[in-house]
Amino acid sequence: MNVLFSFALFLCVLWGVTAKQEEMAATNIRNMNARQIIRFFGYPSETHTILTPDGYLLELHRISRGRNGQSNPNLPPVLIQHGLVESSGTFLIIGPDDALPCLLADLGFDVWLGNSRGNKYSRGHVTVDPDKFEFWNYTYHEAAINDLPAEIDFVLEKTNREKLIYVGHSMGTTMYFILLSMLPEYNEKIELGVMMAPVAYMYHCKSLFIQAVAPFAHLVNLVIAARIGEFLPNNKFLGSVRELVCGSSVLNRDLCGTLLNLVVGDDPRAYSPEFMKILVNHGPEGYSFLTILHYGQFVTTGEYELLYTKKTMLGRDSQKRRFVFRLAFLDRFGMLDYGTLGNLRQYGVPYPPDYDLDQITVPTLLYAGQSDNLADLTDVMRLTEKVPSVKRLFVVEESKFGHMDFLISDNVKELLNDYVIADIMEHLGQNATGEAYVNNNEL
């Protein structure tokens, strides 16, 4: 149940099969890691291992120049951070002509792909065994204040630059907002923040997975006491489950698609069996159970019925009484809620503090999809009110553009990445393609 439920989280954000997905499926990238994919596409590839302040070992993948040797020393380096249950590889699998890291490298940017603690590229620690609970005793909060500073400082030192451009998708955006709220000195190290499918406020989140977790999201202390750490181990057993559920046959494709259909309602027939196997080879990645609970604490969960039995004083037949209550969390973006006593121990106050988004001064661009079940457009618009340095909200025209379409849509270049690049180059005072700059929502 644990494996299937976690697998559904990854599948719930996938969309449909396309011509370019089929083209990638025809290659051999299914069995390649991110480093090999970069080389296969014709780019130079470097791998760097860095150490976080709390002892985690993270792997960075670097594309230092374009396929034809393009390199522009006047451009700042770019750090790209993946989302929940993803890795650096998920930014690449749509192919070199459409993937944002490749497009940026071909323009001369020095591109770095981060990997958060816990995924297959960053499953190491100087003292703690990744099979132990202690390795997984964190949420995206710890990743934000430890992983991102280590990555940013390393990239700036390696490139001898003072600032970089930060691109985040999903949880990569959550970490950005937390970092600049908690460690505002890092505002001086980021030239521009590009937030794709930004996840912070989640009051309107429609993900059935997160909504299912939300009623239990307050059980943080129980999870810690039970030492429930990694929610989705990336091992041979899970690999066998992936092959079984999402194999190459139409029957297995429908089985995998049906699981997806239960979460987001997509048509199972819209998926290519072969490309789906590429996707699941690059996710879902390992992550901590506490991270999921942290997200779940900020979702409205709806109405639930509570039944309880009460006996009369004379010991007669018990009477059943029905109560209907609404379990709803405030529309807020804050630290992990450990309960009143736990919060007093952790924070010195009975409630978890909210992140102070007023601390963010980096020019920030938001990119949203109209059919994103995780980063709902209403919640993204809330960020335009809360983050004072937001300069633009771009809403993708395609009405069915969802959470993973930011990475694997057949038309991601035309619908999104061309606009992202134009926005970046306009901020830098340069012209990427010579085409007219298009801006659909300037704040």
Q: pLDDT tens digits for 386-400?
A: 999 999 999 999 988
Mean pLDDT of 274-297: 76
Residue 301: which pLDDT band, with cuts at 50, 70 and 90? very low
User: 277 pLDDT exceeds 90?
Assistant: no
Residue with tokens 């059935």: 208
Torsion of CA 308, 314, 317, 318, to 10 degrees: 0
Query: What rounded mean pLDDT belongs to the chain?
Result: 82
User: 440 pLDDT exceeds 90?
Assistant: no
Within a 13 Å sphere around the CA of 204, how many CA atoms are in the beta-carbon half? 11
Residue 275: which pLDDT band, with cuts at 50, 70 and 90? low
**pLDDT at 330 (0 to 100):** 57
Residues classed as catalytic: 170, 372, 403
pLDDT, greater one: 116 or 435: 116
**pLDDT at 210 (0 to 100):** 85
Alpha helices by DSSP H, listed for 64-199, are 100-106, 140-142, 148-159, 171-182
Residue with tokens 């989280």: 9
**pLDDT at 19 (0 to 100):** 54
Residue 181 to residues 39, 184, 437, Cα–Cα distance (Å): 37, 6, 31
* Nearest Cα residue to 83 out of 226, 291, 395: 291
User: 125 pLDDT exceeds 90?
Assistant: yes
Residue 1: which pLDDT band, with cuts at 50, 70 and 90? very low
**pLDDT at 268 (0 to 100):** 44
User: 115 pLDDT exceeds 90?
Assistant: yes
The 3-state DSSP class for residue 46 equals strand
Residue 145 DSSP one-character state: I
Tell me the per-residue pLDDT of 355-376, one tens digit each, with 9 for 90 and over.
999 999 999 999 999 988 889 9
* Nearest Cα residue to 420 out of 368, 362, 361: 368
Mean pLDDT of 141-147: 98
**pLDDT-above-90 percentage for the chain:** 59
Residue with tokens 């591109």: 111
**pLDDT at 237 (0 to 100):** 67
User: 327 pLDDT exceeds 80?
Assistant: no
Q: What six digits make up the tokens of 156? A: 């700036």
- β strands within 262-361, DSSP E: 303-310, 319-326
Beta partners for 308? 321
Characterize 156-175 residue by residue with b for buried, 16 or more Cβ atoms within 10 angstroms of its Cβ, and e for exposed.
bebbebeebbbbbbbbbbbb
- Residue 440, Cβ density class (10 Å: 0-12 exposed, 13-18 middle, ≥19 buried): exposed
Mean pLDDT of 167-179: 98
Under 8 Å between Cβ of 209 and 374:
no
Residue 255: which pLDDT band, with cuts at 50, 70 and 90? low
User: 303 pLDDT exceeds 80?
Assistant: no
**pLDDT at 13 (0 to 100):** 42
**pLDDT at 244 (0 to 100):** 65
Mean pLDDT of 27-45: 89
User: 333 pLDDT exceeds 60?
Assistant: yes
* Angstrom distance (rounded) from CA 310 to CA 317: 9
- Hey, where are the domains in the chain? 32-206+349-428
**pLDDT at 252 (0 to 100):** 55
Sign of the C-alpha dihedral computed for residues 135, 138, 140 and 141 taken in this order: negative
Residue with tokens 């661009």: 365
**pLDDT at 373 (0 to 100):** 86
Under 8 Å between Cβ of 175 and 144:
yes
Mean pLDDT highest for which of 11-15, 22-26, 356-360, 367-371?
Answer: 356-360
Q: Which CATH class is domain 32-206+349-428?
A: alpha beta
**pLDDT at 254 (0 to 100):** 59
**Which value, in Å, is the radius of gyration of the alpha carbons in the chain?**
22
Range scoring the smallest mean pLDDT among 65-69, 277-281, 317-321, 422-426 = 317-321
